Amino acid sequence: MPTSSFWRDNRVTLTAGAAAVALAALVRFVIPYEREITSLWMLLVKLTPQIAAVVAVAWLDVAWARRFRLHLVALPAIFLAFLCYFVPMTFMTALDMVDGTAVFEDLYLHVVVFVPFMIVALVLSYRLGGGSREGALRIGAASTILQMSGLEDLMAVLMNSRLDGIPEVWDWAHHMTVRLGHPASRGEAYAFIAVHVVLAIAVLVLPRRVFARLRRRRAE
């Protein structure tokens, strides 16, 4: 395949992929790498690597990928990343916490990397399996909305046997605080989660013509 043809067919994927790598390096090594999110701007910056990666995957030329059997390389590589990094790192971090040499933040930051990796991996699997560009974007967008919905916070509270009921104030949920302007009350957290779940469902099931109509209205 000529180089010019390869670039033409995959220019969005290559550009967005390079941006995803650069943004991931920025998030990991330049800006403060900590659990607390101090501003809406910081939250958006931390989301940019996975958004760029989803765009890169969505614009992947499937014919090119199949020609080079990319699925036989990329998908086993993703599995090996889970098996050889995320699984043992989770075990080691948990053991360090038991020994008292680490704090909860270490495990939290590990999971913060794991979740976006999983989202991109699922979108890539869909795309390499012949899924449409629109479908890849819908899955990536809906998954990101659910990631930011607070569902995980709710389930963590429900599974925490140390707590006596659901807290009245969710002051640990920084991704809610920076968008609401204050720590969410229990009722606000429920509403916050519900709105995000509805948005995610809408992204997945609304017909294409609805999005096209919205774009036309914005252009007018």
Name residues whose C-beta falls within 8 Å of residue 24's C-beta, 6 or more positions apart in sequence: 49
pLDDT band at 7 (very low <50, low <70, confident <90, very high): low
Per residue in 43-75, pLDDT (tens digit) is: 999 999 999 999 999 999 998 898 889 999 999
The dihedral through the CA atoms of 174, 176, 180, 182 has a sign that is negative
pTM (2 d.p.): 0.87
Six-digit token string for 71: 């699925």
Percent of the chain residues topping a pLDDT of 70: 88
pLDDT digits 0-9 by tens, 93-102? 877 766 655 6
pLDDT at 219 over 60: no
**Mean pLDDT, residues 145-173 taken together:** 93
Q: Which helix or strand (DSSP H or E) is residue 151 part of?
A: helix 151-159
What's the CA gap between 27 and 48, in Å, rounded? Answer: 9
C-alpha of 57 from chain center? 13
By the 8 A CB rule, do 124 and 182 touch? no
Query: pLDDT-based confidence at 1, cuts 50/70/90?
Result: very low
pLDDT at residue 171, rounded to an integer: 93
